[in-house]
Amino acid sequence: MTVDLDIFKKVDDSQVGKFDHLSNFEIAAIFNRFAAQNLRGNEVVNGGRGNPNWIATTARLAYSRLLEFGVTEAERTYFDPKGMAGDVQKDGIYDRLMQALKGTRRDIFLRDVIGATIDQLKIEDRDAFVYELVDGALGDHYPYPPRCLKYTEQVLQQYLQKNCFKDVQMAKDVDVFPTEGGTAAMVYIFQELHYAHVLYPGDTVVVNSSIFTPYLQIPELSEYNLRIKTVTTKREDNWQMTDEQFEELKDPKVKAFFVVNPTNPTARAFTPERLEKFKEVIKANPDLVIITDDVYGTFSPSYRSIFAVAPHNTILVYSFSKLYGATGQRLGVVCMHHDNVCDRIIQENLMNRRLKELDERRYSIVVPDPHKMKFIDRMVADSRAIGLYHTAGLSSPQQVMMDMFAMSNLKDDGANEYVKLSRQVVADRYHEFWNDLGVKADETAENTRYYTLVDIFDLMKQRHGEDFCKYFKDNYNYLDFTYRLATEFGAVVMDAKAFGAEEGNVRVSLANLQKDDYRKLAQAILDLVDEYYEVYQESKK
């Protein structure tokens, strides 16, 4: 590369420090605007967004077929040419659907996944199952039961069994609550831990860092007033928690542990050996509540959730957003074991007369026996401020869309091929990026490759030595690199300090660009490092 210091000197980075107080998402948005006017006139390469640039097609087509069939079914009951129809009738609806499905791609798929689900779940009333799908897709009734549609819950139980529990058979032992994405799930969980007196102001919550930035901010909300401790994983430990960090969780003063697994931004899942450590933790601290976000789990073939080793103490959150390209659909799930620590703590709290009276006043308008109400059902009620409990539950069209994604995954043939393809897409981009950086890629089984962290300081050391790296640290704000990358080259990455990572780390998403774009991004990073080095060389003259 020929370094063009004239362009380098045109970048005004005197104001970079003013971005320090902003969230990394806000910083990335600002830098993306700068990138659009970059000094080299390059096409913008935005590697900061975690939104995948693919969608799962066949499940969506199947949903559209259900919707189309549902309208036809409604018109059998009542039809007005002005655009009005009646209710869908359940009796005989399975046979009518099978007769309506022809030889198109979506029809074949829908017929296959419905048949496979009926067989796998041993559904006896085929009409009831198909009616739930069709009527749910139309969205003309409130979801009932409020927490989750009957057959949808069974489908989701099996999906989590296959993708999160693996060889630990628990599908029939869990409750699920579909939510408006994983974000809403987390909000509801922390809200309910507070309302149910599972967590009290001043309680200690440990957060596994690095972690998705907004999750660091939830526990600090004034109404929770929790004491936050972090356990920060390191690159030299392959982003795994150490024995010493697991020991911290054994302290009974630690009431909750919060983790994204596999991690965002480091993209690593717990190894089998590290997962087993949670059994030791629970034995020493049986009241510990573990909240785990498993959205990236399907990108690792060997993935197994913390829920599989500590089901009674774990609240699992999953989202369909990343694997199926459905971030805008807002499709998340909360999963809890029937026998869980939160329900036990609630019952212990109800021995306190004051808490029992508060509990009865709070929930008596929605259930006859508030003291028997499970944590997950309290969460449903509180998600709608209790008074609107009768309209609680994720919309039925969203639940049926989840059915389509989950049923496609449960079907053995095409589903596995789609999952393999999604893994291959991010893996190809990952290798393209790291190969062009000239750095050896991480091939460990726990690496999902959905994101990757680049230590810019380490890259500087490898490329031009320790003294140069020290010069950069002494003379530039840590945000200067990402700022200049955007302003000069039109390349955007996300600073990872706000995730809890050390200064100098940037997150690159492998989900939202084409393969060739990662070559451009890697080259821009190397070129900028070399430009800083040329300035360093001039400073020594």
Full DSSP string of 368-410: S-GGG--HHHHHHHHHTTTTTGGG-S--HHHHHHHHHHHHHHH
- pLDDT tens per residue, the chain (541 residues)? 556 667 777 777 777 777 777 777 788 888 889 899 999 999 999 998 889 999 999 999 999 999 999 999 999 999 989 999 999 999 999 999 999 999 999 999 999 999 999 999 999 999 999 999 999 999 999 898 889 999 999 999 999 999 999 999 999 999 999 999 998 999 999 999 999 999 999 999 999 887 666 666 666 655 778 888 888 888 888 889 999 999 999 999 999 999 999 988 888 999 999 999 999 999 999 999 999 999 999 999 889 999 999 999 999 999 999 999 999 999 999 999 999 999 999 999 988 888 888 888 888 888 888 888 999 999 999 999 988 888 889 999 999 999 999 999 987 655 578 999 999 999 999 999 999 999 988 898 899 999 999 999 999 999 999 999 999 999 998 889 999 999 999 999 988 887 777 888 999 999 999 999 999 999 999 999 999 999 999 888 7
| Structural domain includes residue 410 | no
Taking the C-alpha atoms of 114, 115, 119 and 125 in order, what is their torsion angle to the nearest 10 degrees?
70
**Position 402 in a domain:** no
Name every residue whose Cβ is closer than 8 Å to that of residue 209 and which is 6 or more positions away in sequence: 216, 230, 231, 232, 233, 499, 500, 501
The answer to whether position 384 is within a domain reads: yes
Give every CB contact of residue 279 below 8 A, 6+ residues apart in sequence: 309, 310
Q: How many other CB atoms are found less than 10 A from the CB of residue 368?
A: 7
- Tell me: do 321 and 389 sit in the same domain: yes
114-123 contact pairs (CB < 8 A, 24+): 114/407, 116/407, 116/410, 116/411, 116/412, 117/155, 117/407, 117/410, 117/411, 120/158, 120/410, 121/151, 121/154, 121/155, 121/158, 123/151, 123/154
Final residue of a structural domain among 141, 175, 193: 141
Quickly tell me which residue has 């004239």 as its tokens.
6
Instruction: From 141, 173, 206, give the residue that closes a domain.
Output: 141
Task: Specify the pLDDT at position 357.
Answer: 87
pLDDT given at position 16? 79
* Structure-token pair, residue 366: 């929605």
Structure confidence at residue 135 (pLDDT): 97
- Same domain membership, residue 353 and residue 251: yes
* pLDDT of the residue at 415: 52
Looking at the structure, tell me whether residues 492 and 517 fall in a common domain. yes
Give the CATH number for residue 137: 1.10.20.110
pLDDT (0 to 100) of residue 502? 83
Q: Any bridge partners for residue 290, and if so which?
A: 257, 314
For residue 429, the one-letter residue type is R
Total count of domains within the chain: 3
The separation between CA 508 and the C-alpha centre of its own chain, rounded to angstroms, equals: 16
Would you state the pLDDT for residue 19? 75
Cα distance between residue 387 and residue 368, in whole Å: 15
Quick one: 160 and 104 in the same domain? no
Q: Show the domain range for 326.
A: 150-397
Written as one string, the DSSP assignment of 215-234 is HHHGGGSTTT-PEEEEEE--
In the DSSP assignment, the letter for residue 315 is E
Q: Which residues of 394-416 are buried (b: 16+ CB within 10 A; e: fewer)?
A: bebbbbbbbbbbbbbbbbeeebe
**Is 405 within a domain?**
no
Q: Which of 141, 164, 199 is the last residue of a domain?
A: 141
**Do 156 and 294 reside in the same domain of the chain?**
yes
Instruction: Give pTM, 2 decimals.
Output: 0.92
Does 273 lie in the same domain as 202?
yes
Peptide bond connecting 286 to the previous residue in cis, omega within 30 degrees of 0? no
What is the rounded radius of gyration, in angstroms, for the C-alpha atoms of the chain? 26
Closest C-alpha among 310, 309, 318, 314 to residue 336: 314
State whether 442 and 516 are in the same domain: yes
Phi, psi torsion values for 5, nearest 5 degrees: -70, -20
pLDDT at 264: 84
- 234 and 356 housed in the same domain: yes
How far is 168 from 270, CA to CA, in rounded Å? Answer: 17
**Is residue 408 one of the residues assigned to a domain?**
no
Q: Are residues 134 and 181 in the same domain?
A: no
Flag whether 403 is in a domain: no
* 289 and 247 co-located in one domain: yes
Q: How many residues does the chain have?
A: 541
In a domain, 190, yes or no: yes
Q: Give CA–CA dist 383/185, Å, rounded.
A: 10
pLDDT of residue 301: 87
pLDDT computed for residue 412 by the predictor = 66
User: What's the CATH number where 487 sits?
Assistant: 3.90.1150.10
Q: Are residues 125 and 154 in the same domain?
A: no
Determine contact, residues 460/468, Cβ cutoff 8 Å.
Answer: yes
C-beta of residue 487 within 8 angstroms of C-beta of residue 35:
yes
State whether residue 316 is helix, strand or coil.
strand
Task: Indicate whether 409 belongs to any domain.
Answer: no
- CATH code of residue 241: 3.40.640.10
Q: Determine the distance from the C-alpha atom of residue 457 to the mean position of all C-alpha atoms in its chain, rounded to a whole number.
A: 29
Q: Are residues 303 and 371 both part of a single domain?
A: yes
Contact, 316 vs 164, CB < 8 A?
A: yes
